[in-house]
């Protein structure tokens, strides 16, 4: 069930109409209803995998209780924790990576292993990581498992179940334990506002730019060599598609949480404004970065064992972070690239201790740092989006100009440049992109992601999200103050118009990109 669908909006209305009368009388009844609704939401996609989700929850809940009991007796928890982590990773390995491993072994050894064709269970990476963190913290004495109902809701709460954020028990269980029917009007108003803004990002922006990315990448996958401008438009189109797709989902999840009086953690905060790759990862998929830091990077030794070991730990963490996103060598390379980017960034800070704060001193320096960071991210996205390594290499050849530098006549007229003096070949029509529309879309969206306030800044009066990475939401000047959301008639009118536009465009079903992970 997609957030951007009519059936989900109907589902949401029913859940809310039943939830508030129930929770007003009995909090436990309200939570039970939310669990039932969340399981229905998950099962709508594939009912047979509902048993897998419930089995995973039951196994981890009872194992956490055994771990807690063993710790209470002063016994060892290492064996139980090892069993739990191995079982959870084994579940992901079977359903998500079995085919990838078999294909890789066949390629390397010609063993001829059968390649299993398994449908990936929705959200398996998200709910598995949440529960691994819970088991680890139970072994540390930092997690308690008193209420099976609260634990069920912690894992299945439908606003975050499918594509995150990867919530932490310390943030969510206290909220579920104190759930109540209070401030209903305020919660619904703020929640609906954030939800509509997120829905517009998905329906009005991500889905509008997506066809241009698909056109170029699909052509490259089919063996066609995109020219310089076609490759850049395709790469930038995907760069903005995944930005607004993930930003939209993150907003919608936070808005849905507010509708039930629950604050979810911040997962996205204008990552394309970052002036270095360290800052990028403080802003992109924030809860995944937190998980990788707390449960992989730090246990590997973090930065405690010297600079060389720190860089190795960074690289391993990002390599596995890439593999978490998908079972394919393109995802591994994407993770490896970001690992190298982080190593270079930290190495640069070591060479220039005065820049350890991460912010270039001059405006020119900040602009140059932003350009380098953004271009590095775009190059990595090419691997992330490509169907295989051959497609990625074809796209890289295109953006390097190896496949020729040519523009269509319409694009040439739209560009504020003298194409002849630049040595550009002007053709009446290009094989892939001959319209100037994607050019203007890319230019416009670039300005938006760099200059416009994000949803959390628009709603900052209400602190709409928990902030696990402590991303600063400092003062932005009078323009941001003027744009800050307030419950006024003007805002209500604008949101009604945006909401109506989204409703009229929901017939074009388009899954969120992160649903596949």
Predicted local confidence at residue 506, as pLDDT: 87
Write the secondary structure of 180-203 as one string of H (helix), E (strand) and C (coil): CCCCHHHHHHHHHHHHHHHHHHHH
| Signed CA dihedral, 417, 422, 426, 431: sign only | negative
Q: H or E segment at 425?
A: strand 425-427
Q: Beta partners for 427?
A: 408
Inter-CA distances, 304 with 92, 309, 336, Å? 30, 8, 22
- The 8-class DSSP code of residue 121 comes to P
Asked whether the bond before 165 is cis by omega within 30 degrees of 0, the reply is yes
* Helix-helix angle 184-200:228-259, to 10 degrees: 170
Predicted local confidence at residue 192, as pLDDT: 97
- The 8-class DSSP code of residue 407 comes to E
Instruction: Tell me how long the chain is.
Output: 517
DSSP 3-state of 268: strand
How far is it, in rounded angstroms, from Cα 469 to Cα 229? 37
List of the chain residues with pLDDT < 70? 353-361, 407-434, 468-480, 517
Question: Quick check: 407 and 415 in contact, CB under 8 A?
Answer: yes
Predicted local confidence at residue 444, as pLDDT: 95
Predicted local confidence at residue 475, as pLDDT: 47
Predicted local confidence at residue 16, as pLDDT: 97
Torsion of CA 88, 90, 94, 98, to 10 degrees: 130
Predicted local confidence at residue 425, as pLDDT: 66
DSSP 3-state of 82: helix
Give the number of other Cβ atoms within 10 Å of residue 357's Cβ. 8
Segment 424-478, tens digit of pLDDT = 666 655 566 667 788 889 999 999 999 999 999 999 888 899 986 666 555 455 5
Q: What are phi and psi of 265, to 5 degrees?
A: -75, 150
The counts of H helices and E strands in the chain are 23, 2
Segment 106-127, tens digit of pLDDT = 888 877 778 788 888 888 999 9
Question: Quick check: 190 and 261 in contact, CB under 8 A?
Answer: no
Predicted local confidence at residue 517, as pLDDT: 66
Predicted local confidence at residue 436, as pLDDT: 74
Inter-CA distances, 95 with 49, 121, 143, 481, Å? 11, 7, 28, 48
Known catalytic residue: 285? Answer: no
Own/partner contacts of 210-216, CB < 8 Å, gap of 24 or more, are 210/237, 210/241, 210/245, 210/510, 212/237, 212/433, 212/438, 212/441, 213/237, 213/238, 213/241, 213/385, 215/432, 215/433, 216/395, 216/432, 216/433
User: Which residue in the list 168, 169, 325, 346 is annotated as catalytic?
Assistant: 325
Spans of all domains in the chain = 6-183
Torsion of CA 77, 83, 89, 91, to 10 degrees: -140
Q: What letters, b where the CB count within 10 A reaches 16 and e where it falls short, cover 449-487?
A: beeebbbbbbbbebebbbebbebebeeeeeebeeebbee
How far is it, in rounded angstroms, from Cα 120 to Cα 95? 6
Own/partner contacts of 407-416, CB < 8 Å, gap of 24 or more, are 407/229, 408/433, 408/434, 408/435, 408/436, 410/434, 410/435, 410/436, 411/229, 411/435, 411/436, 411/439, 414/439, 414/440, 415/439
């Amino acid at each position: 069930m997609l957030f951007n669908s009519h059936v989900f909006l109907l589902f949401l209305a029913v859940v809310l109409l039943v939830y508030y009368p129930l929770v007003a009388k009995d909090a436990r009844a309200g939570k039970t209803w939310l669990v039932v609704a969340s399981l229905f939401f998950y099962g709508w996609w594939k009912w047979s995998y509902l048993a897998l989700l419930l089995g995973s929850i039951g196994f981890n809940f009872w194992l956490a209780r055994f771990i807690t009991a063993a710790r209470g007796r002063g016994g060892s928890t290492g064996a139980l924790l090892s069993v739990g982590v191995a079982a959870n990773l084994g579940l992901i390995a079977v359903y998500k990576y079995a085919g990838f491993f078999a294909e890789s072994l066949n390629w390397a050894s010609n063993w001829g292993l059968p390649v299993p064709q398994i449908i990936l269970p929705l959200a398996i990476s998200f709910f598995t990581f949440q529960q691994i963190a819970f088991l680890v913290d139970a072994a540390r004495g930092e997690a308690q498992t008193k209420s099976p109902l609260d634990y069920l809701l912690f894992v299945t709460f439908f606003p975050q179940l499918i594509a995150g954020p990867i919530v932490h028990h310390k943030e969510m269980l206290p909220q579920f334990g104190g759930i109540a029917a209070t401030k209903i009007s305020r919660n619904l108003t703020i929640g609906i506002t954030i939800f509509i803004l997120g829905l517009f990002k998905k329906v009005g922006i991500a889905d509008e730019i997506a066809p241009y990315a698909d056109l170029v990448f699909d052509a490259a996958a089919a063996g066609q060599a995109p020219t310089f401008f076609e490759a850049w438009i395709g790469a930038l189109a995907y760069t903005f598609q995944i930005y607004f797709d993930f930003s939209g989902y993150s907003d919608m999840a936070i808005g849905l949480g507010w509708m039930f009086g629950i604050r979810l953690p911040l997962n996205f905060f204008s990552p394309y404004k970052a002036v270095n790759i360290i800052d990028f990862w403080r802003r992109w998929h924030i809860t995944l970065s937190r998980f990788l830091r707390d449960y992989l990077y730090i246990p590997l030794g973090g930065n405690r064992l010297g600079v060389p070991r720190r860089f190795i730990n960074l690289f391993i963490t990002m390599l596995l972070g890439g593999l978490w996103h998908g079972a394919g060598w393109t995802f591994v390379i994407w993770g490896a690239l970001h690992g190298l980017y982080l190593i270079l960034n930290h190495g640069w800070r070591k060479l220039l201790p005065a820049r350890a704060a991460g912010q270039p001193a001059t405006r020119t320096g900040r602009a140059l740092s932003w350009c380098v960071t953004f271009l590095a991210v775009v190059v990595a996205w090419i691997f992330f989006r490509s169907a295989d390594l051959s497609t990625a290499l074809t796209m890289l050849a295109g953006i390097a100009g190896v496949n020729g530098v040519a523009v269509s006549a319409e694009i040439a007229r739209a560009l504020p440049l003298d194409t002849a003096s630049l040595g550009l070949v002007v053709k009446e029509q290009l094989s892939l992109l001959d319209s100037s529309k994607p050019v203007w879309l890319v230019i416009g969206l670039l300005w938006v992601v760099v200059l416009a306030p994000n949803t959390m800044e628009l709603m900052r009066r209400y602190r709409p999200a928990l902030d696990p990475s402590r991303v600063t939401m400092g003062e932005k000047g009078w323009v941001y103050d003027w744009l800050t959301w307030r419950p006024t008639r003007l805002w209500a009118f604008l949101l009604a118009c945006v909401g109506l536009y989204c409703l009229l465009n929901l017939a074009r079903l388009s899954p969120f990109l992160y649903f596949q992970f």
